[in-house]
Chain A
Amino acid sequence: MAAGFKTAEPLEFHRSFLKENCRPDGRELGEFRPTTLNTGSISTADGSALVKIGNTTVICGIKAELAMPAADAPDKGYIVPNVDLPPLCSSRFRPGPPGEQAQVASQFIADVIDDSNIIKKEDLCIEKSKLCWVLYCDIMCLDYDGNLLDACIITLLAALKNAQLPKVTINKETDLAEVDMQHKSHLQINKHPVASSFAVFDDEVIIVDPTTEEESLATALITAVTDEDDQLCAFHKPGGSSLSAEKLQDCISRAVTRNREINKLIDKVTESMKSSK
């Protein structure tokens, strides 16, 4: 019976739950799905992490390469994020060139990296206008069940924390780079941004961490990114139903507490990885 109700009237089905201040999967309106994290999942990458938020699974691998800095920013390295949504993760994605959602997500991640100053790009420079690091951050979704952006930012942050770069020096005589694989060091993480996504139902009810179904039925989606100093790095609301400043304030307050939770989780996982070695 319930399954038939859900298929025939999905919106009415969700409304009947929201009326009782809960959701079909048993969560409260302001509750995130259980979030699990694993770092160093890809042994061949320089840094990696796998995040699960409920069913949504996202993996990030970081590959570091040496390159020449750009002429207009000779003391800066590059961070190149890319979000891939393969057909494997959901039937809504087709093979071929990246679709709009993947492109928008890649751009969003690139903006968050720049705006939050997650890593000082100057730290990636080895020798001014000669040599710098390029960090290719490839983020791939393995299972898509909503809230992609939150998962992407967590996995990116965890992977960057996990990444280790070898020491590189430039030989003065030959003018060639020498890579010392024995001495690896972690990156200096400047800021710890965490994203929190919200969905708006019927122009008024705000729920956090929407699933795919909730995303498709929602009238608006919001993503707020905050760092550990409670500064906003991004407040992205692409459109949909209009909200008052007070409602937006509630979203930000929730995002601030979410930041604490996630940073605690990342620290705990990093700590346990160290002790298990």
Chain B
Amino acid sequence: MKHAMMELEISSPVLREFGSEQSLLSKPDGSATFMQGDTSVLAGVYGPAEVKVNKEIYDRATLEVLIQPKAGMPSVRERTREQCVRETCEAALLSTLHPRSSLTLVLQVVHDDGSLLACCLNAACMALMDAGLPMSRLFCGVTCAIDAESRIITDPTAQQEKESRALMSFAIDSKEHNVVMSSTKGSFSVKEMQQCIAVSQKASERIFQFYRDSVKRRYSKIL
């Protein structure tokens, strides 16, 4: 019974309109923008290229992620985001196929209107796909906010984030729809987190379908 109710609740999580464009920059080996509502991130991937000796890892590629905020210098908060994006990408990339080489992923925030980390992850995945790097699976980011009345809002705007009691960002993988990354703000109960994971898993299906459609559309033109 309880399970059925939860199914009902998460039948169709509302996401803002999202879109993406790939290969829009000429210099990087792969590039993409991802837009979720007014939030927009531009991503560029360089590599596999030569690596600095002190960063060399003998059995796999070194991935470096740089997040550039819209204004000003990257701060400590960007460091935390960079770590989240990097370790999520590392989990998906088959970096052992390019030992002793460097991969650089640059994420430029174009506009932040909430769910920024999720948008960064989506842009990163699209750019890695565009670069043609070998990956074991795809991943996508979903942000959930819990408002004062304990309702779950998926893909919140900056205003909704501000008014929320708790905020959770997850990265979901395309293979088993499990949680790759989790980053939270505010305090919440275990049940609320489990609900948010379920909602994110549901929402991720739409994003993966979008990935599939956009890749299909692109290659059907070329071939």
Contact = CB atoms under 8 A, between A and B. Distances in A.
Interface of A: 100, 103-104, 106-108, 111, 115-117, 219-220, 222, 227, 230-245, 248-249, 252
A231 B91 contact: no
Nearest to B174: A242
A111 B173 CA distance: 26
Nearest to A231: B187
B180 to A, nearest CB: 4
B173 A115 contact: no
B189 A239 contact: no
A187 to B, nearest CB: 19
Interface string B89-102: 11100000000000
B193 interface: yes
B1 interface: no
A238 B84 CA distance: 4
Contact of A239 (B84, B176, B190): B84
Contact of A236 (B91, B180, B184): B184
Given A244-B178, A249-B194, A238 B83 contact: yes
Given A104-B80, A238-B84, A241-B180, 5 more contacts: A231-B189, A237-B183, A238-B181, A239-B90, A241-B91
Contacts of A236: 182-184
B86 interface: yes
A239 B188 contact: no
Contact of B185 (A115, A230, A239, A245): A115
B22 interface: no
Given A107-B77, A107-B80, A239-B87, A232 B181 contact: no
Contact of A235 (B83, B176, B182): B182
B171 interface: yes
A239 B179 contact: no
A117 B166 CA distance: 13
Interface in B123-167: none
A100 B83 contact: yes
A232 B193 contact: yes
B221 to A, nearest CB: 33
Contact of B188 (A104, A117, A232): A232
A-B pairs, top 9 by smallest CB distance, nearest first, are: A239-B87, A242-B178, A239-B88, A237-B182, A242-B180, A242-B173, A238-B87, A103-B79, A231-B187
B72 interface: no
A243 B179 CA distance: 5
Interface residues of B, number: 37
B198 interface: yes
Among B79, B187, B194, residue most surrounded by chain A Cβ atoms (within 10 Å): B187
30 contacts: A100-B83, A104-B79, A104-B83, A107-B79, A111-B185, A115-B185, A115-B186, A219-B91, A220-B91, A222-B182, A231-B188, A232-B184, A232-B190, A234-B185, A235-B193, A236-B183, A237-B182, A237-B183, A239-B85, A239-B91, A240-B90, A241-B91, A241-B180, A242-B175, A242-B179, A242-B180, A244-B179, A248-B193, A248-B197, A249-B190
B118 to A, nearest CB: 14
B223 interface: no
Contacts of A222: 182
Contacts of B179: 237, 242-245, 248
Nearest to A246: B194
Nearest to B173: A242
B86 A239 contact: yes
B8 interface: no
Contacts of A219: 91
B168 to A, nearest CB: 8
B154 to A, nearest CB: 16
B187 A100 contact: no
B76 interface: yes
Given A236-B182, A237-B182, A108 B173 contact: no
A240 B87 contact: yes
Interface string B183-219: 1111111100110011000000000000000000000
A124 B80 CA distance: 28
A115 B164 CA distance: 12
Contacts of A117: 187
B176 A242 contact: yes
